[in-house]
């Protein structure tokens, strides 16, 4: 969800907090104007966890400048200026902001159709604003500025780059303190830091931004996720396929993606023919479905692919694994009859919960997104698709929120969100009901009457982008992945060189049992080896000295539970296998 969507969600859910943070943004802009004459104001909305203001400044700010701005804010808060709303005819507002040289405000005014505009004043500071605000600046007490970032005006890299100051505000100091602690914990769990520290992945400047290099340990984790996803899809009756990465642009014209995604597509020509790297997997699956005649008895047909797609995301929005240019989806497309829709949607929702629960997630929220302003297909088909999704949710008695106008361009959708260990929401599973693409590609099946009938198409993912899901997993578990996902599950630590041979023999026996194991043969003290294993989030450490070698046992240490005492190699291997099979894990 973008910042605009976050603001609307906050406004609808907690108007008091929305007004407080909106007021804090005004106080911050007021302070910046006092400190930096010549500043030009853009926008300053509340967002889910705070607020920001975009500014054009005569000097480049850094995070070190924030305490100075906070100190000026404190003076404005101490003055307890009332927030006063006034209304100006549009012509007067244009004149006022022209005199101030506020070109961004003038551009906003130009987009407002109203003849009268709302302004809010606190002290000698006035801003174009609809509100709401708290009564006075004195009510903005628990406030903290967090960071400075760059932001293009209106999100368009062709526009001027502004400076964005982020902050947050709460009603009490205790609430603010708790939020700041959560932010510190989020920094500790940042997947970019963990990925580097644990040797999982990297981004290489020579290769370009937004493309991920998985190192051996990271590739192992990804392989384990993929293997689980493949196996469970086969068990659920999905048929695996593989489609090319490059298509002629003709197919993207026919699907509508070229009209809606052109700016995000990598397009090129070869032999005078226009091609594009695929931003979606659905047209490829459509071609497979349409390659032969289908009977009503064949349906539903569930086509599944771990499909890698490419999107030309702007460099300014790239963010570790969470926003990349090349990513893989657990993508499926289900071709079915209308009378099968509700039952199939039920099955997908149950499937999504089953898969996400296997990764340790237990809290889910559901959103229904409806027809956007730009769409393909007919309004009648959209209404039909929305009814099908609503009916499926209501028949299962699933509570859901409606996000009007946020559906895909080809159909409405249900999104499944999970909560991580810090209480943050992440969108993973999705099911989208599509009547439009079957029309565009003339997808039919032979009915019981022998005549062709139009299929309905469900687009579906459970984890979504593997890159994003990997990053989310790392942050949820703070790098300490569950045993079944750990790239190395066990490290054997010999006390002296005399136990190295036994340690190697033990590792070989465990590998035969399917355990991923390393031997730490470094000439270091045992405590240093244990500390390093703990820093690398190693689930189990097996310490072997002369006593263990003589008795053919191991001294077992767990990363959370500590010393578990001596075990036979067979008993330990059984413990690991049981834990892996159960997929136990806690954040």
Three-class SS of residue 317? helix
Given a contact cutoff of 8 angstroms between Cβ atoms, the answer to whether 503 and 517 are in contact is: no
Q: Which of 369, 332, 370, 335 is nearest to 351 (CA)?
A: 332
pLDDT at res. 357: 93
Residue 266 falls inside a structural domain: no
Query: Are residues 123 and 233 both part of a single domain?
Result: no
Condensed to tens digits (0 to 9), the pLDDT of residues 328-344 reads 999 999 999 999 999 99
Question: Measured at the alpha carbon of residue 406, what is the angle toward residues 402 and 408, in degrees to the nearest 5?
Answer: 125
Query: Given a cut of 50, is residue 586 above it in pLDDT?
Result: no
Q: In what order do the strands lie in the sheet with 562-567?
A: 517-519, 490-494, 540-544, 554-558, 562-567
User: What pLDDT, on the 0 to 100 scale, is given for residue 12?
Assistant: 46
Residue 98 lies in a domain: yes
Q: Is 477 helix (H, G, I), strand (E, B) or coil?
A: coil
Burial of 525 from C-beta contacts in 10 A (0-12 / 13-18 / 19+): exposed
* Pairwise CA distance, residues 567 & 548, whole Å: 9
Residue 419 placed within a domain: yes
Same-domain check for residues 100 and 227: no
Q: Are strands 246-248 and 273-277 parallel, antiparallel or unpaired?
A: antiparallel
CATH number (domain holding residue 504): 3.40.50.800
**Tell me, what DSSP letter sits at residue 199?**
T
Neighbouring residues of 49: CB distance < 8 A, sequence distance ≥ 6: 168, 179
Residue with tokens 């499909």: 307
pLDDT greater than 60 at residue 93 = yes
80 lies in the same domain as 137: yes
**461 and 325 belong to one structural domain:** yes
Cβ proximity of 69 and 143 under 8 Å: no
The verdict on 171 and 80 lying in the same domain is: yes
CB-neighbour burial class of residue 264 (10 A; exposed 0-12, middle 13-18, buried 19+): middle
Mean pLDDT of the region 386-394:
93
Domain identity same for 119 and 19 = yes
Q: Look at residue 539 in the predicted model and tell me its pLDDT.
A: 95
547, pLDDT greater than 90: yes
From 459, 476, 493, the end of a domain falls on 476
Query: Token pair for residue 411?
Result: 């159909």
| CA count, 13 A, side-chain hemisphere, 426 | 25
Q: What is the pLDDT of residue 4?
A: 47
Positive or negative torsion for Cα 13, 19, 21, 22:
positive
- Compute CA distances 415 → 82, 85, 370, whole Å: 42, 39, 11
Domain identity same for 528 and 462? no
Q: Are 334 and 301 in contact (CB under 8 A)?
A: yes
Token reading at 78:
């101490």
Which of 223, 269, 299, 308 has the alpha carbon at shortest distance from 454? 299
Please indicate, yes or no, whether residues 541 and 459 belong to a single structural domain of this protein: no
CA distance linking residue 216 with residue 488, whole number of Å: 10
**Residue tagged 């708790």 (tokens):** 178
Confidence of residue 382 (pLDDT cuts 50, 70, 90): very high
User: Minimal CA–CA distance to 402: which of 8, 3, 4?
Assistant: 8
Distance between start and end Cα atoms, the chain: 25
Residues 330 and 437 in one domain: yes
Q: How confident is the model at residue 3 (pLDDT cuts 50, 70, 90)?
A: very low
The DSSP bridge pattern shows strands 40-41 and 490-494 to be: unpaired
Percent of the chain with pLDDT over 90: 86
Token digits of residue 107: 């551009």
Overall size of the chain counted in residues: 587
The yes-or-no verdict on residue 319 having pLDDT over 70 is yes
Residue 454 shares a structural domain with residue 503 = no
pLDDT in tens, 447-492: 999 999 999 999 999 999 999 999 999 999 999 999 999 999 999 9
- For residue 168, being part of any structural domain is answered with yes
What is the maximum span of the chain, computed from C-alpha positions, in angstroms?
93
Q: What is the pLDDT of residues 64-78, one digit of tens each?
A: 999 999 999 999 999
- Contact assessment for residue 320 and residue 458, using Cβ atoms and an 8 Å cutoff: no
Kindly state the average pLDDT of the residues 496-506. Answer: 94
Tokens of 245: 């990465």
Q: For the residues 251-264, what does the mean pLDDT come to?
A: 91
Q: What tokens does 56 get? A: 């054009």
Q: Could you tell me if 491 and 533 are in contact, meaning their C-beta atoms sit under 8 angstroms apart? A: yes
Mean pLDDT of the chain, nearest integer: 92
Q: How many CB atoms are located within 10 Å of the residue 584 CB?
A: 12
- Low-confidence winner among 146-155, 285-294, 297-306 (lowest mean pLDDT): 146-155
Question: Quick check: 439 and 357 in contact, CB under 8 A?
Answer: no
Token pair, residue 36, equals 């930096």
Give the confidence band of 584 by pLDDT, cuts at 50, 70, 90: low
CB 285 within 8 A of CB 299: no
- Same domain? 289 vs 395: yes
Q: How many domains does the chain divide into?
A: 3
> The domain that contains 98 carries what CATH number?
3.30.980.10
Residue ranges making up the domain that contains 285:
209-244+279-476
Q: Could you say which of 428, 461, 476 is where a domain stops?
A: 476
List of residues 6+ apart from 174 with CB closer than 8 A = none
C-alpha separations of 422 from 187, 293, 498, 506 in Å: 11, 50, 45, 39
8 A C-beta contact, residue 266 and residue 275: no
- Portion of the chain with pLDDT greater than 70, in percent: 97
Instruction: Please list the active-site residues.
Output: 282, 311, 329, 331, 333, 413, 459
SS (H, E, C) 327-384: EEEEEEEEEECHHHHHHHHHHHHHHHHHHHHHCCCCCEEEEEECCCCCCCCCHHHHHH
In-domain check, residue 267 = no
Q: What angle do CA 510, 513, 516 make, to 5 degrees?
A: 60
* DSSP labels, 513-561: TT--EEE---SS-HHHHHHHHHHTT-SEEEEE-HHHHHHT-EEEEETTT
Asked if residue 109 is part of any domain, the answer here is yes
Q: Does some domain include residue 199?
A: no
The phi, psi pair for 279, rounded to 5°, reads -90, -15
Radius of gyration of the chain (CA): 28
Q: Quick one: 487 and 471 in the same domain?
A: no
Residue 265 lies in a domain: no
CA distance 494 to 580: 25
Show which of 458, 476, 494 is a domain's final residue: 476
Q: Give the DSSP H or E segment for 248.
A: strand 246-248
Question: For residue 4, what are the β-bridge partners?
Answer: none
Q: Give the domain CATH number at 223.
A: 3.30.930.10
CB contact at 8 A, 70 and 116: no
Give the pair of three-digit tokens for residue 455. Answer: 């299929």
Strand (E) or helix (H) holding 170: strand 161-170
């Amino acid at each position: 969800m973008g910042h605009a969507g976050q603001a609307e969600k906050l406004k609808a859910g907690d108007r008091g907090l929305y007004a407080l943070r909106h007021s804090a943004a005004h106080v911050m802009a007021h302070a910046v104007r006092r400190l930096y004459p010549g500043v030009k104001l853009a926008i300053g909305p509340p967002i889910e966890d705070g607020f920001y203001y975009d500014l054009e400044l005569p000097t480049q700010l850094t995070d070190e400048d924030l305490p100075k701005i906070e100190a000026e804010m404190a003076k404005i808060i101490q003055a307890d200026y009332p927030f006063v709303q006034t209304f100006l005819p549009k012509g007067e507002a244009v004149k006022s902001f022209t005199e101030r040289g506020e070109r961004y405000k003038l551009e906003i005014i130009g987009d407002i159709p109203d003849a009268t505009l709302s302004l809010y004043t606190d002290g000698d500071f006035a801003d174009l604003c609809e509100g709401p605000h708290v009564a006075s600046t004195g009510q903005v007490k628990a406030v903290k500025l967090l960071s400075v970032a760059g932001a293009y005006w209106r999100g368009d890299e062709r526009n001027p780059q502004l400076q964005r100051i982020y902050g947050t505000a709460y009603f009490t100091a205790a609430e603010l303190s708790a939020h700041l602690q959560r932010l510190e914990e989020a920094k500790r769990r940042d997947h970019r830091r963990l990925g580097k520290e644990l040797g999982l992945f990297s981004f290489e400047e020579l290769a370009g931004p937004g493309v991920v290099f998985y190192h051996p340990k990271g590739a192992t984790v990804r392989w384990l996720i993929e293997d689980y996803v493949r196996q469970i899809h086969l068990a659920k009756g999905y048929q695996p396929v593989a489609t090319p990465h490059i298509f002629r642009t003709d197919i993207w014209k026919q699907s509508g993606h070229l009209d809606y995604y052109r700016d995000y597509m990598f397009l090129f020509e070869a032999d005078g023919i226009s091609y594009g790297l695929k931003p979606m997997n659905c047209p490829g699956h459509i071609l497979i479905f349409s390659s032969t005649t289908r009977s009503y008895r064949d349906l539903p047909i569930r086509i599944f692919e771990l499909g890698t797609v490419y999107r030309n995301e702007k460099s300014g929005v790239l963010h570790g694994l969470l926003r990349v240019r090349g990513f893989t989806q657990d993508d499926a497309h289900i071709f079915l009859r209308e009378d099968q829709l509700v039952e199939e949607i039920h099955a997908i929702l149950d499937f999504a919960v089953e898969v996400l629960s296997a990764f340790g997630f237990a809290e889910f929220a559901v959103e229904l997104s409806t027809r956007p302003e730009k769409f393909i297909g007919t309004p009648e088909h959209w209404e039909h698709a929305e009814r099908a999704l609503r009916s499926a949710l209501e028949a299962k008695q699933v509570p859901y929120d409606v996000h009007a106008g946020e559906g895909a361009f080809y159909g409405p959708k249900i999104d499944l969100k999970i909560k991580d260990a810090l209480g943050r929401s992440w969108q993973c599973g999705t099911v989208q009901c599509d009547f439009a693409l079957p029309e565009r590609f003339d997808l039919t099946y032979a009915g019981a009457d022998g005549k062709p009938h139009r299929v309905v198409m469900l687009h579906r993912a459970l984890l979504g982008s593997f890159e994003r899901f990997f990053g989310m997993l790392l942050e949820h578990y703070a790098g300490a992945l569950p045993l079944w996902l750990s790239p190395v599950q066990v490290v054997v630590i010999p006390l002296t060189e005399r136990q190295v041979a036994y340690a190697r023999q033990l590792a070989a026996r465990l590998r035969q049992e399917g355990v991923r194991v390393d031997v730490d043969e470094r000439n270091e003290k045992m405590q240093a080896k244990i500390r390093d294993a703990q820093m690398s989030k190693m689930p189990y450490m097996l310490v072997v000295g002369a006593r263990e070698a003589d008795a053919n046992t191991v001294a077992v240490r767990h990363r959370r539970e500590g010393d578990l005492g001596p075990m036979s190699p067979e008993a330990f291997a059984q413990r690991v296998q049981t834990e892996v099979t159960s997929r136990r894990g806690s954040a």
